[in-house]
Amino acid sequence: MKNKSTLIAFSFAIVAGISLTSCSGTKKEEAATETHDHATEVKADSASTAKAQFAVDAAFQKQLGDVFTAYITLKEAFVATDAAKVKAEATTTQQALTKVDMMLLTGPAHHDWMTYLEGMNASLKEIAAATDIEAQRKAFSTLSDRLYKSIKAYGLAGTTAYYEFCPMAFDNQGAFWLSDNDKIRNPYFGDKMLSCGSVKETIQ
């Protein structure tokens, strides 16, 4: 009887472990969301919609939109798990970033952009310098967080961005990324788990 009870308990533990690590498991997702910088800005169970924090010149939004477009191409290089392509697209994204005119901003909007710009440049340099795809993905996660904050702050002049989340990235720590549509194409696993993830926020 004791052996039978032990076997049942062991089986239950295995099943519970599987449910926690599955792509659709909400417990891991919620834990990662709670510890994430944007825990108060995203919901664990359903996507929210947000508008820009600052009212800024449409020209600035257009330039930030060009960065977002370059970022999407970079994201697709991660989906393809192509380290060489990732390096090239990181450089292209950084070039788009240099064309953003910070003089179009004033006051707190300008101050915040300086912080976001420094962080994004650092992440892109790290991606371009790395040769290992997993190291590149770590830096991409940080880049995604910083670009997310920028888009939240300034908007994209009519372009919609989708903030998406994979609960299994980086040994179940979870990670976010941005997309130009709501179809999941996971940059942290590529074709290993291409559709693992969900939309957490829509930014318009």
Closest CA to 192 of 88, 78, 48: 78
The predicted structure's pLDDT at residue 115: 97
Q: Using CB atoms within 10 Å of the CB of residue 125, give its burial: 0 to 12 exposed, 13 to 18 middle, 19+ buried.
A: middle
| Rounded distance between C-alpha atoms, residue 162 and residue 164, angstroms | 6
**Rounded to whole angstroms, what are the CA distances from 148 to 6, 27, 58, 173, 177?**
48, 24, 18, 19, 8
Backbone angles phi, psi at 175, to 5 degrees: -155, 150
Give the pLDDT band (50/70/90) at residue 23: low
Give the pLDDT band (50/70/90) at residue 47: low
Q: What is the pLDDT of residues 160-204, one digit of tens each?
A: 999 999 999 999 999 999 999 999 999 999 999 999 999 999 998
Q: Which helix (H) or strand (E) holds 172?
A: helix 169-172
Closest CA to 145 of 32, 49, 25: 32
Quote the distance between the C-alpha of residue 94 and its chain's center: 17
Quote the distance between the C-alpha of residue 185 and its chain's center: 12
The predicted structure's pLDDT at residue 162: 97
| Rounded distance between C-alpha atoms, residue 195 and residue 7, angstroms | 34
Tell me the percentage of the chain whose pLDDT exceeds 90: 73
The predicted structure's pLDDT at residue 204: 82
Q: What angle do CA 197, 16, 188 make, to 5 degrees?
A: 25
Give the global pTM. 0.79
Report which of residues 86 and 6 the model is more confident about.
Answer: 86
Beta carbons within 10 angstroms of residue 185's beta carbon = 19
Beta carbons within 10 angstroms of residue 84's beta carbon = 10
pLDDT value at 20 more than 60: no
Q: What is the pLDDT of residues 82-120, one digit of tens each?
A: 999 999 999 999 999 999 999 999 999 999 999 999 999
Closest CA to 66 of 104, 94, 85, 87: 94
The predicted structure's pLDDT at residue 5: 43
Q: What is the pLDDT of residues 50-72, one digit of tens each?
A: 678 899 999 999 999 999 999 99
- Return the domain boundaries, the chain: 26-203
